[in-house]
Amino acid sequence: MEIETIAWRGDAASGHARVLDQTRLPTEVLTFEVRDLESMLAAIRRLAVRGAPALGIAGAYGLVLGLQAARSPDAADFVARTREAGARLAAARPTAVNLPAALERSVLRAQREAAAGRSPAEILAALLEQAQALEASERAACEAMGRFGAELLADGATVLTHCNAGALCTVGIGTALAPVYVAQRQGKRLRVFADETRPLFQGARLTAWELARAGIDVTVLADNAAGALLQRGEVSAVIVGSDRIARNGDVANKIGTYPLAVLARRHGVPFYVVAPLSTLDPRCARGADIPIEERAAEEVTRPLGVQAAPLGVPAFNPAFDVTPAELVSALICERGVLREPNEERLRAWL
């Protein structure tokens, strides 16, 4: 079931990134080369590459691409260009903390290398090394999250998930879907219900595609059918990913996650959030402080290019919502399972 969402080809000076275009799924599997900063910015903004962990890696590689043409012999000038390119990439999608966090680490690495007397070429090589280390780290985190999460799933369990938090949002086996993949390896028989996830249908287009490809029993349902499914007692667990987790345990995820958490609590179904430590934002005190990306009205009024609302009618289209920590049964990351997360428990755990 290996899916290469984003990868680097070549060296730091002349290499490029290769990206799976997720806007073309499920009808077409197409990869393309990204060779400069502007192209990576465009790929991020149009959701060709998406998902918090993958965005962090895309940003780190995009920074290398943005500096390849910087022919300055002066290390200080090179670091200034690094900051400028990093700021542009970080602003491309504001909610997922992995993107600005990865870029901040890259800029700090550039500063340290410059302070140590490294040349611009050596700094660029160090930035590629750091980006590749991040990719390896996120891949290992996916496996660890999968192992911890699979322990919570019994043979025959039915999982309800929202948006896509699988292999397509990472460079590994995913976040929310990692426990499903590991449970499958263990011989457990699982069924997954995937919310279609309006308005961009990431559940129907992406989650269903990758699960079916992996031979996992998956059924797509309209977002507003989730309550009926839970009411019937047909869900063992709700498992979602996250784009940013505040210091108090509040969770930002794809729009529609919050009502799913409320429904899960109403029906006594555990609501699990699976996300790597890179998604935790200690600078963000609570969910209300998380910046929520607002996207184009056309995504709602013309879903998949079909006119679904009268011309000229506006649309409310936040890309994410925030689920209070009190509705989260457990947070699963590469370090383990944290039941009923809150600020005190997160601080002690980390």
For residues 214 and 312, the answer to whether their CB atoms sit within 8 Å is no
Span 79-101, pLDDT tens digits: 999 999 999 999 999 999 999 99
Selection from 168, 326, 331 nearest residue 239 by Cα: 331
Digit-coded pLDDT (tens) for 184-225: 999 999 999 999 999 999 999 999 999 999 999 999 999 999
- Predicted pLDDT at 216: 97
Any idea which fold 6-142 has? Four Helix Bundle (Hemerythrin (Met), subunit A) (1.20.120)
Range from 185-194, 218-227, 228-237, 341-350 carrying the lowest mean pLDDT: 341-350
**pLDDT tens sequence across 316-328:** 999 999 999 999 9
Residue 2 pLDDT grade (very low, low, confident, very high; cuts 50, 70, 90): confident
The full set of domain ranges for the chain reads 6-142, 144-349
Average pLDDT, stretch 285-292?
96
The whole-number pLDDT of residue 1 equals 60
User: Looking at residues 23-49, what average pLDDT do you find?
Assistant: 97
Q: What is the pLDDT of residue 348?
A: 87
53 pLDDT tier (thresholds 50, 70, 90): very high
Closest CA to 330 of 273, 258, 290: 273
Pairwise CA distance, residues 173 & 177, whole Å: 7
Give the model's confidence band at 74: pLDDT under 50 very low, under 70 low, under 90 confident, else very high. confident
DSSP annotation of 318: B
Sign of CA dihedral 205, 207, 212, 213: positive
Average pLDDT of span 38-63: 96
**Amino acid, single-letter form, for residue 243:** D
Phi/psi for 345 (5° steps) reads -70, -35
Cβ pair 309, 315 in contact under 8 A: yes
Q: How confident is the model at residue 350 (pLDDT cuts 50, 70, 90)?
A: confident
Q: What's the rounded Cα separation, in Å, for the pair 109 and 312?
A: 48
Residue numbers annotated as active site? 243
Could you give the CA distance from residue 319 to residue 257 in angstroms, rounded to a whole number?
Answer: 11
Q: What is the DSSP string of 43-109?
A: HHHTTSS-SHHHHHHHHHHHHHHHHTT---S-HHHHHHHHHHHHHHHHTSSSS-THHHHHHHHHHHH
C-alpha span between 261 and 272 (Å, rounded): 9
Confidence band of 70 (pLDDT split at 50, 70, 90): confident
Give percent of the chain above pLDDT 90: 96
CA–CA separation, 32 vs 5, rounded Å?
11
Question: DSSP labels for 190-237?
Answer: -EEEEE--TTTTHIIIIIHHHHHHTT-EEEEE-GGGHHHHHHTT--SE
Task: Return the CATH number of the domain spanning residue range 144-349.
Answer: 3.40.50.10470
In the predicted model, what is the mean pLDDT of the chain?
A: 96
